[in-house]
């Protein structure tokens, strides 16, 4: 693995405490630190702090939603972080999900593909120093006034064919999530073929994947965490459609039907064991390294590990997550 990334902020670790954590991760060989934006910190504040605290590690957002910020604010925020990071920042964007956009932010989740495409076009104009405009986004005559750093590359989060094609034809990288190593070639092939059709070098496309790691040998803990995570995420319309496209529609059908009927407990019990084995990297440190390397062999160029919580006490969680990252770095 040439690149080796972490998801941060870590569970159980305060933002100020990440100053020393990120410096240590940089010193022991991690090359990347990518944020997430769900129900905790936003994508950009931790990234800005990381830019100030570190010297070499590459920083990315995976992802910032194109719906919850105006295109202009997104461009301004991204270039401000890029200025702080001085060439080490990657802007990862995506449509997010109806739950986050509509239920949590009160905004309509309409035409996500078009919204991402138009936002990327607008961002390219801004980053190239043009007076940017978009009729579809209702934005006109914006030009960014500062140039103290190179513009950040744009990464596009993609699940299904159309968004993968968009990432290949317009993005500098593609961000994958919630998939098995065996799923990676299908996704990468679509993105690279689109890059080739657009006259771009398909091999220049960076393939980022968030990889869920359950660092334990306890079968009961692995299955408990795996079932809860899968039933909570992969029953949503966006991820449900993704896994039907990947070929897990029938395997997930009983779980989905129970979830749709409001029976969350039964839905969780109906998560197939095979799906847990496919979608999570588990075991001791060496087994986890081997699992991450399987993604790299399948076509991922930037693996980004996401440590799942394996201790119940929140006071112990931060220390455990840091210890796991140390163990993995020592084995790499």
**pLDDT over 80 at 232, yes or no:** yes
Q: What is the mean pLDDT of residues 246-271?
A: 98
pLDDT category, 65, cuts 50, 70, 90?
very high
Q: Are 186 and 211 in contact (CB under 8 A)?
A: no
Q: Residue 286: what pLDDT?
A: 97
Q: Residue 193: what pLDDT?
A: 98
Q: Residue 1: what pLDDT?
A: 74
Dist. CA 164–CA 184, nearest whole Å? 12
What length does the chain have? 332
Cβ burial of 105 (10 Å; 0-12, 13-18, 19+) is middle
- Rounded mean pLDDT of the chain? 97
The token pair that represents 133 in the structure block? 């405009």
Cβ burial of 76 (10 Å; 0-12, 13-18, 19+) is middle
70-84, 215-229, 307-321: which range is least confident on average?
307-321
Q: Does the predicted model carry a pTM greater than 0.95?
A: yes
Q: Residue 166: what pLDDT?
A: 98
Q: What is the mean pLDDT of residues 32-53?
A: 97
154 Cβ contact partners less than 8 Å away, ≥ 6 residues apart: 91, 93, 120, 123, 124, 127, 170, 171, 172, 173
Per-residue pLDDT tens over the stretch 153-171: 999 999 999 999 999 999 9
């Amino acid at each position: 693995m040439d690149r080796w990334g972490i998801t941060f902020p870590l569970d159980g670790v305060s933002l100020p405490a990440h100053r020393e954590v990120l410096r240590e991760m940089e010193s022991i060989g991690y090359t990347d630190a990518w944020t997430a934006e769900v129900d905790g910190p936003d994508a950009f504040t931790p990234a800005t702090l990381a830019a100030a605290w570190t010297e070499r590690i590459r920083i990315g957002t995976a992802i910032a939603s194109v719906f919850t910020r105006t295109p202009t604010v997104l461009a301004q925020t991204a270039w401000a972080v890029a200025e702080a990071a001085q060439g080490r920042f990657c802007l990862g964007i995506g449509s997010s999900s109806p739950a986050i956009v509509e239920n949590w932010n009160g905004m309509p989740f309409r035409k996500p593909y078009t919204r991402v495409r138009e936002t990327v076009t607008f961002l390219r104009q801004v980053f190239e120093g043009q007076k940017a405009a978009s009729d579809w986004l209702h934005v006109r005559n914006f030009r960014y006034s500062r140039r103290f750093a190179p513009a950040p590359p744009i990464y596009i989060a993609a699940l299904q064919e159309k968004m993968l094609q968009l990432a290949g034809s317009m993005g500098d990288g593609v961000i994958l999530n919630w998939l098995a190593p065996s799923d990676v070639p299908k996704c990468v092939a679509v993105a690279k073929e689109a890059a080739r059709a657009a006259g771009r070098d398909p091999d220049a496309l960076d393939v980022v994947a968030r990889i869920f790691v359950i660092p334990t040998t306890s079968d009961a803990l692995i299955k408990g965490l795996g079932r809860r995570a899968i039933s909570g995420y992969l029953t949503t319309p966006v991820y449900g459609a993704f896994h039907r496209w990947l070929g897990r529609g029938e395997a997930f059908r009983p779980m989905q039907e129970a979830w749709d009927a409001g029976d969350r407990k039964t839905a969780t019990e109906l998560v197939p064991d095979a799906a847990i084995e496919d979608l999570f990297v588990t075991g001791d440190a060496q087994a986890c390294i081997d699992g991450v390397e399987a993604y790299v062999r399948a076509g991922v160029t930037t693996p980004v590990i996401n440590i799942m919580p394996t201790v119940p006490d929140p006071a112990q969680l931060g220390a455990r997550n840091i210890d796991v990252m140390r163990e993995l770095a020592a084995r790499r």
